[in-house]
Amino acid sequence: MFETAYLTGAREGELLALRGTDLELPKEGPGKMVIRRSLSWARLMGEEIHPRYFPPKTKAGRRTISIPALLVADLRRWKLRCAKSDEDFVFASSEGKPIRRDWLLRVSFYPALSRARLRRVTFHTLRHSCASAMIAAGAPVTEVQHRLGHANPAITLQVYSHFFKHSESGAADRLAAVLLTNLGSAAESKKGGHFVGTQSSEAVVEIGVSA
């Protein structure tokens, strides 16, 4: 579940409500995950605590996201190891029941952090880590927005603006390589006209002059 949270950016409640029918896990290659609902254990006035399922708050929250091939393989293996759940939960208790958030943190998440000698963070940190890693890898804001289920890219920019400010995708270098290489090749192959030599790249750029 922790691996899935980090690689998909899905919220804790979305993962706890995930069912087998929400996953597309091919034998080879990447798969898909459909986010349709979220699990909540919030107590309502006068009622006992029990699991409730809610649709995403926004239209963008209901989304289909890609999952990498390595995660697909791990989820296929996980499915074989899990107890059969009446509601076909992907992540369930040993009895196949919905997992309570406090149990997840106390029994599983915090001990895992301790064993890994990592400081204690919230489960939501995995979602932030996914977003920041994608930005560092040069993913466009619209891709990050879709994976996280934000209603519009302005929300993504507002939350992660400090990461975008320091991210470099290398796009300018690739653009320069394509532009200068093509212009240099074109100049070498043409005769006549007016030419300007550039000292930095030694490329020759033809300047068309209209009468």
What pLDDT, in 10s, does the model give residues 106-165? Answer: 999 999 999 999 999 999 999 999 998 888 888 889 999 999 999 888 888 888 876 666
What is the DSSP-derived secondary structure letter of residue 131? Answer: H
Tokens 């899905």 appear where? 10
Q: Identify the pLDDT of residue 126.
A: 94
d(Cα 70, Cα 8) in Å, to the nearest integer? 12
Closest alpha carbon to 155 in 60, 63, 55? 60
User: Which of helix, strand or coil describes residue 52?
Assistant: strand
pTM recorded for the entire structure: 0.74
Domains within the chain, CATH numbers bracketed: 2-165 (1.10.443.10), 180-207 (no CATH)
Q: Identify the pLDDT of residue 198.
A: 45
